[in-house]
Structure 1
Amino acid sequence: MAPASLLDLVAALPPSDGWGPSVATETTLDGVPYAPYSKADKLGRMADWTEGKDRERGGRQQYGNRNYRDQQVYGANQQNNPFGIIAAEEEATFSVVDNTRTTTRGRGFGRGGGTVFRGRGQRGAQNQRGGARGTFQRVGAGRGGQQQGYDNRGGRGGRGGRRFGYRDDKPQRNRDASIQVRPDWALLEEIEFTRLTKLSLDTPDGEDIDSYGFLYYYDRSYDKQPGAKTSEKRLNVLERAAYNVTTSSDPIIQDLADKDEGTIFATDTILSMLMCSPRSVYSWDLVLTKQGDRIFIDRREGSSLDMVTVNENAADAPLETSEGNKDTINSPSGLMMEATHINHLFPIQVVQESESAKRDMPNEHPFYNPAEETDPAASKAYRYRRFDLSLADSEEALHLIVRTELDAVVKNTISGEDQFLTIKALNEFDNKAQGSGGALDWRTKLASQRGAVVATEMKNNSFKLARWTTQAILAKADMMKLGFVSRVNPRSPNDHTILGVLGYKPREFAAQMNLNLANGWGIVRTIVDMVLKMDDGKFVLIKDPNKNMLRLYSVPNDTFEDEGSVMEKVEEDGDDE
């Protein structure tokens, strides 16, 4: 005897007088086929009155988004759905009458703003044309000055959304360190740039200790309208003796240290690197030596500290050849060599060399020896200045002595007094090449859009310009001259043309580029305090090549002194062979 079904057992039960409906004896399941079950089936809305209306408007279903998730029909994954309802022919003429005025409230760029986005359409969007490839959506003005739209992958863009195609696929650049950390170096401190930018120390204007060298007068003919054809002049190669002596090798600084004139000693190029370090991108290093209560901040031999970078702060900085850049002359190292060469020649050319008309400092040139040099000395004056870095609540004096440099002198047209200048040069390599940072064409835009050209340079070369401005303020220069030098041929880094020169007051230029000198002095004081707490020895401060961080290492005293002897020994061994 076959077992009874569940329905038969229920039907056999006696009727109950309790709560609930009475048990029916008839069933409606006879003849209905079994509906297979699929885990992919989803239960959505019981009724959707908007689907037909959206199809009528020409909208496009967004497969994969959250709206489509609730629009799947139960059992849709089956090939033959036994519960599918065939619409009657008369339903084709049925339409929903809706007189409600639909409005979309978008967010634009403030009052009256609007923009156009390209991408897949969104159902029911206003001012939208459906199509097979994509749609155009106009987003009008709204409150808050924000903008909200749809990106090209069907996702919701705008506030809080992901911006596809904008640095998502940009690989992380791995730059090389300026110096290799050795196993015997001890890590003392790691300082993030976010901490450095919060430091501040109000330091009074420095005082002059002494001045050396001489200065030629600036040639005012270079101050013609920048960008004009008549103001262009060829950059010439002039052989002049120029010096870049590090701190501990400077005889004047050594003499001041022996007289206890200060506690910290540095040059303006080294000090500006430390004061503007939060703006730096490339790796660099400084050597700090503590001898008793004195600290000497030096650059090591062979360091790129004095090299002039190009577009270091650009959003799309120049690529190295190892990163796929086939254009060697426009690589960071090639541009550095070119910019350094230009900044060596430009200050020499824009002065009038006349022995009868020049400004002599109280002391002779500290590094130039006429008996040994074959080339004449370049126009250069060295000011040794002292700054007080003492804290307000501290009785202990902490003085810093820095060697600053001046490049030329000019007569004031009103008062007739001499004004001291620092002279630097910005260089243009190719505004269409990779790494140009969106720079304008100087030959066509320097005369009409001078402000835009300078603003772009402030953005792409923030660190370099901050250092130059800091050096001018440290030297107490009256004016800073910026030359605009471009290649004669964008494919050749050898020939250049001077397009014009602009002059700025250092303090005003610092305010334009948001340069805070108090923050720089706070950074110097913080690093110095770290070293003063250590025992006598040698330390190396390195900027991490790929992170916004400084690292302070304690190194052996003979770290950089034995390299020369090792090289000489190798050469002698080679000669013997």
Structure 2
Amino acid sequence: MATGFKLPDLPPVKSAWGPHETEQFSEDVPYAPFSKGDRLGKIADWSVEQPKDGREQRGRQGAFANRFRDQYQTYGHGAASVFAYQHSEDESSFSVIDRGSVNRVRTSARNGGTLLKVRGRGGQNNQRTGARGGRFGGGAGRGNETVMTRASGGGGARGRRFGWKDYDKHQRVRNASVTVGNEWELLEEVEFSHLSKLNLAASSPETVDTYGYVYPYDKSFDKVHVKSEKPLQALDRVHYNPTTTEDPVIQKLAVSSEANIFITDSILSLLMCSTRSVHPWDIVITRQSGKLFFDKREGGPFDYLTVNENAYDSPMDADDREGVNSPAALSVEATYINQNFSVQAIREVEEEKHSLNNSNPFYNPNEETEPLAAHGYVYRKVDLSLDTDDKPVNLMVRAEVDGYMKTPSNEVQYVSIKALNEYDPKFTNVAGSVDWRSKLESQRGAVFATEMKNNSCKLARWTTEALLAGVDSMKIGFVSRSNIRDAQHHGILGVVAYKPADLANQMNMSLSNGWGIVRTIADVCLKMPDGKYVLVKDPNRPIVRLYSVPPETFEEPTAPASEISSS
């Protein structure tokens, strides 16, 4: 037996079998790397639909698809997208049949057949032929209509929800309340999201002086209901709403008092509730000798009330061809209703007249021929100082009261009287609108909740003005048109009473946030040199901008006081 075994010598191998260690490719040839650790499944699976862009597609299992990757993995699954075939045109969305979501309502036609009405959702493009368009499948001679619908948002329940005639709504593009001049300089720009985070715990307002007189509230209006509605009377009274610098009392207080911010309640309430505003507005700010004066422009948005400003689909000019329901016409109508209701809801009895410390500073009986509307003007001071301030920051505001009531102990309590108006109960474009004449008695809370939603800014401003004036009760009337096409005749359907503090809690109002907004704007303006500034709310975005303007801006000859007659 051989003692050992020895392999013969083999010649050296000059070239190994298999691929080279490194492979050189030209730039125009794609190369997909392959790892020995990759697990191979099926060679090819034509039942798995791959996206056209080559990206990995998650199957029906969703987040748990990785558990079954061995069964569902296809060779080349992780290859680069350059190997995936891509169509030059997307043919998956092409369909000969219209698959848009439509609402079909069958009714009987005049000839005994069926009438199929088709209303598309989303955008529509209608082509009508024949004498009567808009009907498909009708009798002979009815004409045909071809309706092509386009489903938005993916179609079906996965897309966004549509409202009534959402496809036919006009684009909400509003014009600015004032034209920004070329010489205006932009100083600050703040979004509402930042304003809503401001807070300042201000002290309670302190009454400095009172002017005018008021009459008692007529308690019979608390018993008014739909079946015994009262017609709204057109009473000729003179209503004054002068701006800050035209108020002779504020001019006197600017010299004698320690306040350095002067403003009226209508302007202050808008600043404090600015985050709720939708319509554009502007405020003129004058800095003089270290003091700020907040003014309104004549004929601007402060002289008129808004209607359904915060509604999902607020009124626009194109919504009503006749113009009776246009925003401008509704604003004038709401102001007319509010002024007349505040006069009609009081008892103008000379024996029950309650005079304040001073007479009305804006009315001259020797020059005026029409009687004066009873109003009380309360000038109050609010301390907005902080612990870090070098000198105190005080605000002087002119607030108004509309009437008074007496307690069982014969104590006088001031009342604020306002009116909400209904212009069209069938105006379905307003989300959640209800008919006051049919729902006010049985669902008064639901009606008022709808108004708090659609008129959030207006009601918040009224509540803020009541708190600033120190009134004890708010009387809010429901006034509706006698005819939906007649904006001159109205009926009073009912009155609700609220305490200002309770209504503020229901509306989720925060006075500390409002005072924080006012103090922030005042700090910016107090650091500026003497001059004129304009605070402008963007017409289509929740943004306010502060501009520096020339001193002669808005300088036009105006009356000594703003006078709005209710006639």
**TM-aligned CA deviation for residue 438 of structure 1:** 2.6
- Alignment partner of 1:406 is 2:401: yes
Please report how far the alpha carbon of residue 371 of structure 1 lies from its aligned counterpart in structure 2 after TM superposition: 0.8
User: Is this contact kept in 2: 1:318–1:434, CA < 8 A?
Assistant: no
Is 1:247–2:244 an aligned residue pair? yes
Separation in 2, partners of 1:301, 1:547: 24
Corresponding residue number in structure 1 for 2:523: 529
Displacement of 1:417 in angstroms is 1.6
Judge conservation of contact 1:379–1:407 (CA < 8 Å) in 2.
Answer: yes
1:397 and 2:392 correspond: yes
Asked if 1:45 is matched to 2:47, the reply is: yes
Q: Does 1:488 align with 2:482?
A: yes
Q: Which of 280, 292, 299 in structure 2 is aligned with 1:302?
A: 299
Is 2:491 the counterpart of 1:497?
Answer: yes
SS of the equivalent of 1:218 reads: coil
Aligned mate of 1:441, from 435, 447, 455: 435
The aligned residue for residue 85 of structure 1 is: none
SS in 2 for 1:494: strand
Question: 3-state SS of the aligned residue for 1:333?
Answer: helix
Q: Distance in 2 between matches of 1:551 and 1:154?
A: 34
Residues 259 and 165 (structure 1), Cα distance of their counterparts in 2 relative to 1, 3 Å cut: same
**Cα distance in 2 for residues equivalent to 1:552 and 1:359:** 42
Structure-2 residue corresponding to 1:262: 259
AA partner of residue 535 (structure 1): P
Residue 345 of structure 2: aligned partner: 350
Q: Secondary structure at the match of 1:351?
A: coil
Instruction: Report the CA distance shift for 1:319/1:220 in structure 2 as closer, same or farther (over 3 A).
Output: same
Aligned partner letter, 2:300: S
CA distance in 1, matches of 2:414, 2:347: 15
Alpha-carbon shift at residue 539 of structure 1 (Å): 0.3
Offset, 1:44: 3.0
Amino acid of the structure 2 residue aligned with 1:258: V
Report the CA distance shift for 1:384/1:226 in structure 2 as closer, same or farther (over 3 A).
same
Matched, 1:452 2:446: yes
Alpha-carbon distance in 2 for matches of 1:221, 1:169? 45
Distance 2:152 2:549 in 1: 53
In 2, Cα distance between equivalents of 1:153 and 1:356 = 67
Q: 2:315 aligns with which of 305, 309, 318?
A: 318
Q: Does 1:222 align with 2:221?
A: yes
Question: CA separation of 1:486/1:467 partners in 2, compared to 1, >3 Å: closer, same or farther?
Answer: same
Structure 2: stretches of 5+ with no match in the other structure: 1-16, 19-43, 50-57, 61-71, 73-86, 88-100, 104-117, 119-149, 560-567
**C-alpha deviation, 1:300, in angstroms:** 1.3
Deviation at 1:484, TM superposition (A): 0.4
Aligned partner of 1:4 in structure 2 is none
TM-score calculated relative to the size of structure 1: 0.69
Structure 1 residue 381 and structure 2 residue 376: aligned? Answer: yes
Superposed displacement of residue 437, structure 1: 3.5
In structure 1, C-alpha distance between the alignment counterparts of 2:302 and 2:557, rounded to whole Å: 19
Gaps of 5+ in 1: 1-17, 20-41, 48-64, 71-76, 78-117, 121-132, 134-150, 566-577
Q: How many residues align?
A: 425
SS at match of 1:356: helix
Query: What letter matches 2:366 in structure 1?
Result: A
Q: Tell me how far 1:163 sits from its aligned partner.
A: 2.1
Which residue of structure 2 aligns with residue 286 of structure 1?
283
CA distance in 2, matches of 1:169, 1:162: 18
Query: What is the distance in 1 between the residues matched to 2:167 and 2:519?
Result: 39
Cα contact 1:222–1:501 (8 A) shared by 2: yes
Shift, 1:320, TM fit = 1.3
Counterpart contact for 1:430–1:436, Cα < 8 Å: no
2:273 matched residue in structure 1:
276
Residues 169 and 483 from structure 1, CA distance in 2 versus in 1: closer, same or farther, beyond 3 angstroms? closer
Name the aligned partner's letter for residue 324 of structure 2.
Answer: I
Separation in structure 2 between the aligned mates of residue 300 and residue 435 of structure 1, nearest angstrom: 32
- 2:536 aligns to what? 542
Residue 174 of structure 1 and its aligned partner are, at CA, apart by: 1.2
Amino acid at match of 2:493: L
Secondary structure (helix, strand or coil) at the match of 2:46 reads: coil
Deviation at 1:302, TM superposition (A): 2.1
Q: CA separation of 1:377/1:564 partners in 2, compared to 1, >3 Å: closer, same or farther?
A: closer
Counterparts of 1:546 and 1:279, CA distance in 2: 13
- Distance in structure 2 (CA, Å) of the matches to 1:173 and 1:46: 46
The separation in 2 between residues aligned to 1:273 and 1:157, in whole angstroms, is 42
> Partner of 1:330: helix, strand, or coil?
coil
Whole-Å separation in 1 of the counterparts to 2:470 and 2:341: 21
* Match status 1:467 vs 2:461: yes
SS of the residue corresponding to residue 290 of structure 1 reads strand
Rounded Cα–Cα distance in structure 1 between residues aligned with 2:417 and 2:462: 9
Matched, 1:419 2:418: no
Quick check: 1:311–1:437 contact (8 Å CA) kept in 2?
A: no
Structure 1 range deviating more: 554-563 or 520-529 = 554-563
Residue equivalent to 1:178: 177
Alpha-carbon distance, 1:304 to partner: 1.9
Mapped partners of 2:547, 2:155: distance in 1: 48
Equivalent residue number for residue 372 of structure 1: 367
Tell me whether 1:202 sits opposite 2:196 in the alignment: no
Q: Secondary structure at the match of 1:352?
A: coil
| Residues 135-154 of structure 1: pairs in structure 2 closer than 5 A | none
Bigger strand fraction: 2
Could you tell me how far 1:563 is from its partner in structure 2? 6.8
